[in-house]
Amino acid sequence: MANLYLNRLLVLFVFLAGIAWQAKAQAVQTIPEFPTGDQEITIIFDLKQAKDGRAAGLLGKTDDVYLWSGAGVVGNPNAFLYQPAGQTSFNQPFNPGKMTSLGNDRWQIKLTPRTYFGVPAGQTIDKLGLLLKNGNGTAQTEDFIIQLYDGSLQVALREPEQQNFFVEANSAIPVRAVVSAKADVTVKLDNSVVYSASNTDQIQTSVNAGSQQGVLRTVTIEAKRGSETATQSFTFRVRPQPVVTALPAGMRDGVNYTGATSAVLVLYAPHKNFVYAIGEFNNWETSPEYLMKRTPDGNRYWIELNNLPAGQEVAYQYLVDGTLAVADPYTEKILDPAMDQYIPASTYPNLKAYPQGAEGIVSILQTNQPGYTWKVTDFERPDPETLVIYELHVRDFIEARNYKVLADTLTYLKRLGVNAIELMPVMEFSGNDSWGYNPIFFFAPDKAYGTKNDLKAFIDKAHEMGIAIILDIVLNQADYEYPYVKMYWDGNQPAANNPFFNQRATHPFSVFFDFNHESEATKALVARVNRHWLEEYNIDGYRFDLSKGFTQKNTGENVGAWSAYDAGRVATWKRIYDEIRSYDETAYVILEHFADNQEEKELSNYGMLFWGNHNHDYRNMAKGVLANPQGISYKNRTWENPYLIGYMESHDEERILYDVLTNGTRNGNYNTRTLSTALDRAKLAAAFFLPIPGPKMIWQFGELGYDVSIDQNGRTGQKPIRWEYRQQPDRQKLYQVYAELIKLKLNEPAFATDDFDLQLNGQVKRIFLFHEDMDVFILGNFDVRVQQVNANFPTTGMWYDYFTGHENKIEDPGQAMELQPGEFHIYTTKKLETPQPNLVPWQGLVLSAEEELAERGVTVYPNPMQEATVLHLEGEYRGPVQVQLVDMTGRNLQHVRFLKHQQSHQEQLRLQRVPAGIYYLQVEQGGKKSVHKLLRANE
């Protein structure tokens, strides 16, 4: 993961809405005090009272402060439902929302809500969502939710700031309220009047909380004026003291099913005072019987639930310290009130409706859950060094965006020949549309892609086809909705006592909130997460995102220092690896590390695999720009094991075809920016990528020449799905070339040899593979110009051109060759089955030396050729002769057969329809071939 930019406004909405009323009285003021949706309102902000740390960037300004806002209506909880016309980019100034400075960090704007937000007539506006920001969106306040009224008699509570809370026993609770007109006001505690006043528009008093623990009590402020009555109320409880009892044996964090109608809930929550279990089983109320017990060490809370409906889903949360309701961090399914409505029934049938009475994300428990019966229980994982991984993102791979349809594409991938699929992160993330690098629940597959059993069925079918499943997993960070972020929060960052997270990331590439991998809580969580997916979903391993971030060595913004050898990080990864190996001896452990070679070498020797990014070099090579990807060889890195997963493309990198078509070079008529040529350049790049010994990875649709930029619709945004590429012959040829290269890699031992040499400097590149079964020689011209070279075959003898099937008897390893731009050949010393014809646009003819031509008595004249060109043969040979004229792309223009009966023979070739250009004449007589270069000049 790199450069991950996500709009977190929606993600933070629920949290910020919860604190807005606390900040409202201090940070935001309205004139009039009881505003309506149809009158002008003056809104005044005091930035010094803002709670969000990002607001610091607004302090001291005299300009460049803008309102970002929305309006909500009765019946809809979204305070940003209607937004002013033109308010579309948070990173740009929004001139209608430009604020007026009042000095001393106070700002003002006047607006009429219905007009400003364009709310249709007939919709009653009852709230505004507001924040202030600078023009480019780099500084902002939290969200504020402002209530609007309808002009009738109203009571507005100013203190306490919360609506439902816990207090200490016998404490005095301040009560302060304002009334929209003078009225008679009473304050009641439960049903007893504790204060009254006549003909007033404001009150200030207090009530005594009493000493009864955990009992819900209600304070009501009532105003009467004539026939009108208005009320406002709040509830409170005296803070309870949990029973201290040891956790029952065998129970672990999360849900523990103990019977068809019972379960034990366990929450790890050190530094917390009390926790209630709330849910559908108690109408989301904090009744005393659902106060969770506390373990003697004070670290965990637990409760046994009985009388649960057998086999039915039940929603629940934990109410922590009476103020924060969170879902279970270990839940395997959540319901999201904001996002679930956008998941189609075709993806997730019969999704449970969000329960009434709940707020925010809720977790689900279900006794007697229907299991999945695995068809494949003895899958043999491919050896790590032979992996050919296909990385894909469900959202951008299939229109349906779900596992059921994804399973239907496995035949396509099987034909391609890959033996592993790497799924981008599939655990629950914020929202429904993401790369998955903003996780919020680590044990739950995101419902946006389907049910958990749909995911299992996909994995099962992949295993049936011999394809391993590798899960991209994010354990370096979490987004705000992760319960352990919210439970230990300090303004705008994790609190200092957070048992899982650093307050600030120790490295420069963190996007959300950074795990401390040396804390015992995080160690236990990581161990549990890793085991869960391997054992519950039968996946075959992990690609760990940003593994270099698993460090407590604080390097600030210094990327070089962050990448340097880190003994603590090495120890962390060895511990994680050993944990996985303790229960799974062969699971892949792949790191996105990009650290110092000493560190990667040590960890690869320990058994871990590593991503090897060579996108920049291969893009340049395909464009015709000089580059040397020598580092794709594990041997060049002095590693003992071939555990470097090289790749030309990944989700994080620009697409090769897009770069070639946009920025490729040209020479004369040879232009890499034309599609057919660009696709041939992609074949050339693949020929110098896949055959290199060691595991490799392909990004989705690279085998078809995907040519949409990574930055279209934003780097992490949705991209067009291009299955229509399969119907385009030139792209289908690229697919077939990939398939042939993968077939060679996985079936021919020479392509897994440890005896190889890469000569990748210069524009003409060579790969040499040596093995007792056969030798392989790969030669290619990455220039945009014709190259006359000495082939440098490793040995003399018969060499077979794989893609053309031609046999070449090499008597001089330095045999001269002329390579067209983009031309490549894979030569083998063993005859292999020739692929379908015309996958590559050249014949691979080795030019004969002048001495050889003279020895074989072959002469062609005139040259440059004319309409009638003569082939003269001289020598003892008698018998059939075959002659082929081919163009630079390898297309066969003429094929002539005749018999040679005598010492000298002349054959006239009719070439009147051959346009100007360079051609090759191949002559075969008596099993011996010679190739002549001919020129046809412009007339």
Question: Long-range contacts: 104-109, Cβ < 8 Å, 24+?
Answer: 104/48, 105/46, 105/47, 105/48, 105/58, 105/59, 105/60, 105/61, 106/44, 106/45, 106/46, 106/47, 107/44, 107/45, 107/47, 107/65, 107/132, 108/42, 108/43, 108/44, 108/45, 109/42, 109/43, 109/67
**For residue 364, what pLDDT is reported?**
98
* Rounded-to-integer distance, Cα 297 and Cα 268, Å: 11
CATH numeric code, 13-147: 2.60.40
pLDDT digits (tens, 9 = 90+) for 453-511: 999 999 999 999 999 999 999 999 999 999 999 999 998 899 999 999 999 999 999 88
Would you call the peptide bond into 288 cis, given omega within 30 degrees of 0 as the criterion?
no
DSSP string, 138-152: SSB---EEEE-B-SS
* Rounded-to-integer distance, Cα 60 and Cα 260, Å: 62
Which one, of 298, 341, 547, 529, lies nearest residue 426 by Cα?
529
Residue 373 amino acid letter: T
Residue 282 contacts residue 290 (beta carbons within 8 Å): yes
Query: How crowded is residue 643: how many other Cβ atoms within 10 Å of its Cβ?
Result: 27
Which one, of 264, 315, 271, 270, lies nearest residue 292 by Cα?
264
Q: Is 458 exposed, middle or buried (0-12, 13-18, 19+ CB in 10 A)?
A: buried
**For residue 912, what pLDDT is reported?**
66
Would you call the peptide bond into 370 cis, given omega within 30 degrees of 0 as the criterion?
no
Q: Which CATH architecture has domain 155-238?
A: Sandwich (2.60)
**For residue 844, what pLDDT is reported?**
65
Q: Is 669 exposed, middle or buried (0-12, 13-18, 19+ CB in 10 A)?
A: exposed
Alpha helices in 59-124 (DSSP H): 113-117
Which one, of 140, 144, 64, lies nearest residue 97 by Cα?
64
CATH superfamily of 753-828: Golgi alpha-mannosidase II (2.60.40.1180)
Beta-bridge partners for 809: 798
* Rounded-to-integer distance, Cα 871 and Cα 906, Å: 6
* CATH class of segment(s) 850-936: mainly beta
Query: How crowded is residue 741: how many other Cβ atoms within 10 Å of its Cβ?
Result: 25
DSSP string, 230-250: EEEEEEEEEPP---B-PPPTT
**For residue 57, what pLDDT is reported?**
93
Q: Where are the domains of the chain?
A: 13-147, 155-238, 254-366, 384-749, 753-828, 850-936
Residue 491 contacts residue 53 (beta carbons within 8 Å): yes
Max alpha carbon distance in the chain (Å)? 133
On the question of a common fold for 13-147 and 155-238, the answer reads yes
pLDDT digits (tens, 9 = 90+) for 408-417: 999 999 999 9
Which one, of 937, 935, 936, 928, lies nearest residue 853 by Cα?
928
Query: How crowded is residue 273: how many other Cβ atoms within 10 Å of its Cβ?
Result: 15
**For residue 939, what pLDDT is reported?**
61
Contacts of 246 (CB under 8 A, 6+ apart): 295, 296
**Alpha-carbon distances, residue 264 vs 314, 331, 482, 552 (angstroms):** 13, 13, 21, 35
- The torsion region of residue 236 among left (phi > 0), alpha (psi -120 to 50) and beta comes to beta
Record the pTM: 0.82
**Choices 3.30.1050.10, 1.10.20.140, 2.60.40.10, 2.60.120.560: CATH for 254-366:** 2.60.40.10
CATH numeric code, 384-749: 3.20.20.80
DSSP string, 824-861: EEEEESS-----STTSSS---PPPPPHHHHHHHTEEEE
Phi/psi of residue 420, each to 5°?
-155, 150
Per-10-residue mean pLDDT of the chain, 939 residues long, equals 37 33 62 94 95 89 97 94 96 96 97 97 95 94 92 92 90 96 97 96 96 92 96 95 97 98 98 97 94 98 98 98 95 96 96 96 96 96 98 97 97 98 97 94 98 98 98 96 96 94 94 96 98 98 98 93 97 98 98 97 98 98 98 97 98 98 96 98 98 98 98 95 97 98 98 98 98 98 95 96 91 89 97 94 72 80 86 93 81 86 90 80 85 80
Q: Is 349 exposed, middle or buried (0-12, 13-18, 19+ CB in 10 A)?
A: exposed
- The torsion region of residue 647 among left (phi > 0), alpha (psi -120 to 50) and beta comes to beta
* Rounded-to-integer distance, Cα 101 and Cα 13, Å: 27
Question: Two tokens at 934?
Answer: 């001919």
Characterize 25-56 residue by residue with b for buried, 16 or more Cβ atoms within 10 angstroms of its Cβ, and e for exposed.
eebbbbeeebbbbbeebebbbbbebbbbebbe
Instruction: Tell how far CA 677 is from the center of its chain.
Output: 31
